[in-house]
Amino acid sequence: MILTLPTRSERRRIQKKMHKTRDKDECRRLNAILLLASGRTVTEVSGLIAAARSSINRWVSWYTECGIEGLESSTRGRSCVLPFQQITSVIKLLLQFSPQELGYQRSRWSTKLIALEINRLFSLQVYSSTIRRWLPKLGVVWRRAAPTLHIKDPHKDEKLAEIKAALKRCNINHPVFYEDEVDIHLNLKIGAEWMHKGHQKRVTTPGQNSKRYLAGALHTGTGKVSYVASSSKDSMLFLSMLKLLKRQYRRAQTITLIIDNYIIHKSKKTQAWLK
């Protein structure tokens, strides 16, 4: 096999390619071309890089016909049977919109939601695991929230036992409720989602934030939800919730609330009202 000797600039290109590539097979092929260009014979190169002479002759043929690009490794595995280019183009387009703009009751894209939309558009059955494997190839990353410390409650078992006992006693005379408060912000809470690397998505906000607070109670037996609203999250909000339950369940002998350890649930004002 006759090798056309590469020029000095071509040899530099080959050396840079060897330093950058992560494919060891491509690196061997490039190294073989450099050794042959330095005056080594095919037999000598075969011994140096532990490759068959037929393989080296085949590499020389590839280099002679296509240059450095001819020595690159082909994609391994089965060929893709899905319209990969079309699907990835649609994924890039989807990430520019919010799921809510397309009719979903979600604020962020997940791989499961992306797969659902792709299957709807292309009439396919692509799984979320496949989408997750494709996203890094598209330069799409997932930005997560910072983790926080979770301290285990030493009295957890005792509290769970009391909750279970209260739920068993739940009836018309002794109703049991799950109660909690929620903050409603005018400005959106922005979380992590899939987006193109180097291009942070922007979300338009209304401007000055305004908050409202709700306290709600879920009846564990009937599933009925009672709630009150306020402009402040203080003891008066919780007391308004208690007064509402007292009016709605006048015949109840006791009213049991399953609540968290928030300060308004055990404040002096709350304790005074309960007495």
Task: Say yes or no to pLDDT of 150 above 80.
Answer: no
Assigned domain for 15 exists: yes
Angle between helices 53-66 and 24-37 (to 10 degrees): 90
Q: By the 8 A CB rule, do 217 and 227 touch?
A: yes
What pLDDT does residue 181 have? 94
Strand-strand pairing, 225-230 and 211-219 = antiparallel
Average pLDDT over residues 134-147: 79
How would residue 185 be classed by pLDDT, with cut points 50, 70 and 90?
A: confident
CB of 122 within 8 A of CB of 128? no
Instruction: Report percent pLDDT > 90 for the chain.
Output: 40
134 and 226 share one domain: no
Task: Over range 98-120, report the average pLDDT.
Answer: 90
79 is a domain residue: no
Answering whether pTM is above 0.75, one says no
| Number of domains comprising the chain | 3
Contact 253, 173 (CB under 8 A): yes
Taking 70 as the threshold, does the pLDDT of residue 119 lie above it? yes
Cα–Cα distance, 167 to 161 (Å, whole number): 10
Model pLDDT for residues 196-217, shown as the tens digit of each residue: 888 888 877 767 777 889 999 9
Full residue range of the structural domain in which residue 44 is found? 8-71
**Is residue 235 one of the residues assigned to a domain?**
yes
| Residue 62 resides in a domain | yes
Asked whether residue 96 is domain-assigned, the answer is yes
- Pick from 16, 37, 71: which residue ends a domain? 71
Report how far apart the first and last C-alpha atoms of the chain are (Å, whole number).
Answer: 101
Mean pLDDT of 126-130: 91
Q: Are 177 and 218 within 8 A, CB to CB?
A: yes
Q: Is 36 found in the same domain as 127?
A: no
Residue 194 lies in a domain: no
Tell whether 202 is covered by a domain: no
